[in-house]
């Protein structure tokens, strides 16, 4: 392999990115050195096991990946904005839609949601950290390294180009001989380890570390959705692990799991991919439902309507989510019986989802609604998501699906599900929990710009896609002739994408503005909210709660406020046991990254040698007898006085 | 942390090596014998169930814990998932288009 094969060359856009990446990295290093922040970075962030900091790093990574995936989306919209444009060629367009899909689902939606879960869940259940803090750090770093490995593909070696679904035989060595799809197989595998570990970690945290008295049916709704989400993660991600392992074996070692030759079966890939892929949709959408539940209940000044039916519908969705995967490939040539059964299970999912929609509406009914930014996102979610849901029921009918399958109608549908269902929720969650994370609110006025630009842009971008789809435009077409008549609608869609981008820019400006100018005087409970995370300081001290709260009812914090029970007595403070920082998670993740990089290029000997680093990391972890440290009563007292004033 | 775990974790080591051995055995059997397809499927299926049992006893603490109810829920859910994945896949991939 020569250097001009190693680096991607010959495209001015990519050359510009390579220069920009190099300059950004040099700039970051210079900036951190100039500000003398290396030690601070290492101590406070790189080696931290604090769930709040890990959550913030997840969210930061998610925002950066949102930018990357968004630029991919803008490039596609630019290319299709006029008939027969020559902005991107077919190969480049393939690469762009592939990375757009993978990044938006796995490296934007997932870390945003897992990040918010990390920050909020331990606080919401009154715990001091997650069950396995060091494993949590490992989850983050492994995810981050996997994401970065995937991201460099477009400048080093070449992007994957077989779609985010990477269907065989196209994704096999025969048809995509470059390293692009090796990146797909290996980077996703590495990031997947992190997600699976998160799943285990949060199940144990929620089941074992709830505050005394908080029974399952007294858990906040976001905690419920997080629990069920993580159960689905543990159920579904191993399927992706196996499928990706088979893909890796096929591509790197010449086996024939999915090839057409030698008895392999490409359809097995589709089957395994969607056995994971469909539950994945619910993995990203359930925590979003939980966030909307919290936000809607808080800003309607009412408890959540139909708590029990909400729980039942979440569990119902989780159960059904494992039973619908065939609806992604009705046209593969399944028997009529298979398609019929999966049509019915798919349509059945609309029932628990509908229950939830009505519960939210009834929560708002007769409530004293406050139109904060977080609430606006929740309100916009309901109609937009319902359009996505209803078109989903259309697609669920196998016979009708032969008409819609793999058209822009489908693309419009899943953007109408995932953007309101995940992105709106993440925005609602960010505006809602921002003061808890950072001790200041995001600016509401700039937030309105963010909201209106984004929601209008979203509808202008994706609504036209329904119509070009019904008009016969298939997905992933990089160009079309003027005689198709799609030009005006796709042009409109491209304008919408610009408005969408302006909305994202408004969010970034809002973060910048609020960071510099927003009032730091928000108190512990700026929204007059209901759940336990608001009972402690904003941002919370590293030990979360000076005294672990006791719970006897749903919305304990709200009921206590009404009854006037607040405050902390001095004699209640005890020593607090906390986990120590650790550098081994970062070390292990970097080791995985190095091995992964060598495997992508099929340099097996360097890969085998550097795999020793992973083993060293495992041994270090196995013989780590650090049992953490204790925070003294005096330190706790001092920290609590700072935000509570004098203790009783 | 250190409470309740005494001595060398023999269970884990034995389970680990047994799992690897069973997997290699399955590969060797497919590679180097010429049994009929149904025999192969039968042997692989048996090895898989054996391995699942080893995992349950050696790693998954199935014999530990006070509450039997939780174990029953876990096992039921796992069996449900296994049936959906295995039987579902076989059903989908052997009927319809693929059958012709």
Task: Report the pLDDT value the prediction gives residue B3, as an integer from 0 to 100.
Answer: 44
Q: Which of B61, B85, B95 to mutate to test the interface with A (most CBs of A within 10 A)?
A: B85
Cα A625 from Cα A599, distance rounded (Å): 33
Could you count the other beta carbons within 10 Å of the beta carbon of residue A369? 16
Q: Does the beta-carbon distance from A322 to B81 stay under 8 Å? A: yes
Rounded to a whole number of angstroms, the distance between the first and last alpha carbons of chain B is: 58
Residue B14 Cα, gap to closest chain A Cα (Å)? 17
Give the pair of three-digit tokens for residue A188.
């996703």
Q: Does the beta-carbon distance from B89 to A239 stay under 8 Å? A: no
Cα A327 from Cα A344, distance rounded (Å): 10
Instruction: Tell me if the bond preceding A169 is cis, omega within 30° of 0.
Output: yes
**Sites in chain A below the pLDDT cut of 70:** 1
Residue whose pair of structure tokens reads 């630029």 in the numeric block: A71
Residue B80 Cα, gap to closest chain A Cα (Å)? 10
Q: Give the torsion sign (CA, A538, A542, A544, A547).
A: negative
Cα B45 from Cα A588, distance rounded (Å): 35
Task: Report the pLDDT value the prediction gives residue B100, as an integer from 0 to 100.
Answer: 54
Nearby residues of A179 by Cβ (< 8 Å), 6 or more positions away = A153, A157, A158, A600, A601, A602
| Chain B residues inside the 8 Å CB shell of A335 | 95-96, 99
Residue A139 Cα, gap to closest chain B Cα (Å)? 21
CB of A368 less than 8 A from some CB of B: no
Per-residue pLDDT tens over the stretch A299-353: 999 999 999 999 999 999 999 999 999 999 999 888 889 999 999 999 999 899 9
Q: Which of B16, B92, B93, B99 to mutate to test the interface with A (most CBs of A within 10 A)?
A: B92
Backbone angles phi, psi at A538, to 5 degrees: -120, 120
Give the pair of three-digit tokens for residue A413.
């549908």
Give the pair of three-digit tokens for residue A548.
């672990």
DSSP letter assigned to residue A629? E
CB of B66 less than 8 A from some CB of A: no
| Chain B residues inside the 8 Å CB shell of A241 | none
CB A158 within 8 A of CB A178: yes
Task: Report the pLDDT value the prediction gives residue B99, as an integer from 0 to 100.
Answer: 60
Angle CA A466–A469–A474, to nearest 5: 145
* Ramachandran bin of A36, using left for φ above 0, alpha for ψ from -120 to 50, beta for the remaining angles: left
Per-residue pLDDT tens over the stretch A144-157: 999 999 999 988 98
Q: Does the beta-carbon distance from B95 to A334 stay under 8 Å? A: yes
Task: Report the pLDDT value the prediction gives residue B98, as an integer from 0 to 100.
Answer: 59
Q: Does the beta-carbon distance from A271 to B93 stay under 8 Å? A: yes
Q: Does the beta-carbon distance from B89 to A265 stay under 8 Å? A: no
User: Closest to A335 (Cβ–Cβ): which among B85, B89, B96?
Assistant: B96
A638-641, long-range: CB < 8 A, 24+ apart: A639/A537, A639/A541, A639/A546, A640/A537, A640/A541, A640/A546, A640/A568, A640/A573
| Closest residue in chain B to residue A340, using alpha carbons only | B92
User: Closest to B91 (Cβ–Cβ): which among A268, A272, A338?
Assistant: A338
Q: Does the beta-carbon distance from A271 to B89 stay under 8 Å? A: yes
Q: Does the beta-carbon distance from B99 to A322 stay under 8 Å? A: no
Q: Does the beta-carbon distance from A335 to B99 stay under 8 Å? A: yes
The series of mean pLDDT values per 10 residues for chain B, 100 residues long, is 61 88 90 86 90 84 73 87 92 76
C-alpha torsion angle, residues A57, A197, A184, A588 (rounded to 10)? 70
Task: Report the pLDDT value the prediction gives residue B12, as an integer from 0 to 100.
Answer: 84
Task: Report the pLDDT value the prediction gives residue B2, as an integer from 0 to 100.
Answer: 42
């Amino acid at each position: 392999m020569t250097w001009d094969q190693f680096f991607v060359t010959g495209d001015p856009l990519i050359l510009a990115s390579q220069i920009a990446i190099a300059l950004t990295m040099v700039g970051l290093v210079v900036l951190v050195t100039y500000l003398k922040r290396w030690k601070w970075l290492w101590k406070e962030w790189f080696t931290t096991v604090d769930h709040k900091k890990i959550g913030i790093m997840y969210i930061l990574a998610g925002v950066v990946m949102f930018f990357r995936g968004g630029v991919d989306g803008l490039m596609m919209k630019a290319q299709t904005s006029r008939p027969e444009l020559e902005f991107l060629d077919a190969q480049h367009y393939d690469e762009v839609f592939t990375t757009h899909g993978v990044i938006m689902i796995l490296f934007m939606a997932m870390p945003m949601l897992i990040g918010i879960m990390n920050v909020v869940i331990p606080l919401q259940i009154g715990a001091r950290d997650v069950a396995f803090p060091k494993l949590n750090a490992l989850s983050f770093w492994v995810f981050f390294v996997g994401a970065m490995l995937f991201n460099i593909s477009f400048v080093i070696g070449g992007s994957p180009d077989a779609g985010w679904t990477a269907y065989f035989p196209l994704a096999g060595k025969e048809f995509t001989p470059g390293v692009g799809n090796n990146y797909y197989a290996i980077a996703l595998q590495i990031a997947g380890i992190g997600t699976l570990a998160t799943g285990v970690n949060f199940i144990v945290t929620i089941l074992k570390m709830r505050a005394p008295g908080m029974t399952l049916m007294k858990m906040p709704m976001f905690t419920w959705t997080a629990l069920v989400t993580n159960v689905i993660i543990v159920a579904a991600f191993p399927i992706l692990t196996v499928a990706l392992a088979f893909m890796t074996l096929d591509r790197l070692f010449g086996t024939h799991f999915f090839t057409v030759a030698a008895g392999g079966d490409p359809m097995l890939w589709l089957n395994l991919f969607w056995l994971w892929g469909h539950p994945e949709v619910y993995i990203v959408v359930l925590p979003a439902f939980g966030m909307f539940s919290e936000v809607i209940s808080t800003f309607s000044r009412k408890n959540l309507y139909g708590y029990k039916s909400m729980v039942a519908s979440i569990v119902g969705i989780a159960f059904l989510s494992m039973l619908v995967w065939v609806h992604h490939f009705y046209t593969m040539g399944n028997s009529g019986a298979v398609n019929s059964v999966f049509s019915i299970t798919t349509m059945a999912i609309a029932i628990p989802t509908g229950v939830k929609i009505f519960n939210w509406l009834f929560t708002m009914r007769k409530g004293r609604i406050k139109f904060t930014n977080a609430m606006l996102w929740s309100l916009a979610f309901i109609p937009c998501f319902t359009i996505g849901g209803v078109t989903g029921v259309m697609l669920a009918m196998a016979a009708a699906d032969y008409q819609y399958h793999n058209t822009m109608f489908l693309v419009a549908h899943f953007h109408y599900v995932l953007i309101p269902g995940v992105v709106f929720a993440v925005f609602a969650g960010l505006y809602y929990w921002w003061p808890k994370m950072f001790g200041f609110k995001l600016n509401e006025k700039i937030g309105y710009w963010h909201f209106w630009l984004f929601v209008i842009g979203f509808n202008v971008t994706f609504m036209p896609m329904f119509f070009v789809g019904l008009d016969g435009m298939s997905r992933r077409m990089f160009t079309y002739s003027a005689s198709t008549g799609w030009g005006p609608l796709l042009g409109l869609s491209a304008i919408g994408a610009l408005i969408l981008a302006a909305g994202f820019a408004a969010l970034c400006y809002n973060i910048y503005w609020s960071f510099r100018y927003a009032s730091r005087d928000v108190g512990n409970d700026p929204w007059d909210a209901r759940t336990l995370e608001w009972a402690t300081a904003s941002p919370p001290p590293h030990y979360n709660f000076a005294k672990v709260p006791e719970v006897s009812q749903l919305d304990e914090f709200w009921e206590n406020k009404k009854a006037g029970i607040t405050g902390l007595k001095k004699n209640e403070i005890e020593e607090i046991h906390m986990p120590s920082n650790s550098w081994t998670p970062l070390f292990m993740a970097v080791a995985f990254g190095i091995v992964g990089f060598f495997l992508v290029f099929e340099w097996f000997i360097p890969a085998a040698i550097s795999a020793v680093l992973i083993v060293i990391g495992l041994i270090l972890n196995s013989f780590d007898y650090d049992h953490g440290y204790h925070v003294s009563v005096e330190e706790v007292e001092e920290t609590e006085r700072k935000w509570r004033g004098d203790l009783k | 942390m250190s409470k309740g775990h005494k001595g060398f974790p023999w269970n884990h080591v034995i389970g680990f090596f047994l799992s690897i051995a069973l997997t290699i055995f399955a590969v060797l059997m497919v590679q180097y014998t010429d049994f009929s397809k149904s025999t192969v499927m039968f042997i692989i299926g048996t090895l898989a169930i054996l391995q699942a049992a080893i995992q349950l006893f050696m790693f998954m603490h199935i014999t530990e814990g006070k509450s039997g109810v939780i174990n029953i829920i876990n096992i039921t859910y796992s069996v449900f998932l296994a049936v959906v994945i295995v039987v579902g896949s076989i059903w989908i991939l052997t009927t319809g288009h693929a059958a012709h």
